[in-house]
Amino acid sequence: MRVLFLIALFPTASTAQCLMQMAGTNCVVVPQTQVAPPAAEVGDILPRGQYNMIMNAPYYGLPRAQDGWVYFRVEDDIMRVQLRTMEVLEIVTNDAARNGR
C-alpha cells in the first residue's frame, strides 16, 4: 500500500514535461527547429548560372562590390563571391540588413 502511495506522488514522464497543464487541457510539445547548414561554405566553387547575383548591395546594407567580387543569393544566404572563379569568399548573411529578406 505504501509503494502505491509513493508512486502516485511522483509525476510520470508525460506530466513532468507539462508544468502548466490545467484541468481539461492537453500539453503540446513544440518540436525544436533545426537551423539548416548553408548551401555553400567558404572556399566552395558555385556553379555558374544557378544562383542570382545581387545587383544593389547597398539596399541590403552591404558595401558595393569591388575588386572582382560580387554578392550572390544562395538559397537563404548572401555570399561574397570572386566573380572570375566563383569561389565563395565570405558568408555575409548576418551583415545584411533585413530589407531584402
* Class of domain 2-100 (CATH, top level): alpha beta
pTM of this structure: 0.62
Q: How far is it, in rounded angstroms, from Cα 9 to Cα 22? A: 18
Choose between 82 and 60: higher pLDDT.
82
Q: What is the mean pLDDT of the chain?
A: 80
7-54 confidence digits (pLDDT tens): 455 555 444 556 666 667 777 777 888 777 778 999 999 999 999 999
Print burial letters for 85-101: b (CB count within 10 Å at least 16), e (below 16): ebbbeebbeeebeeeee
Residue 90, pLDDT > 90, answer: yes
C-alpha triplet 48, 64, 82: angle, nearest 5°: 30
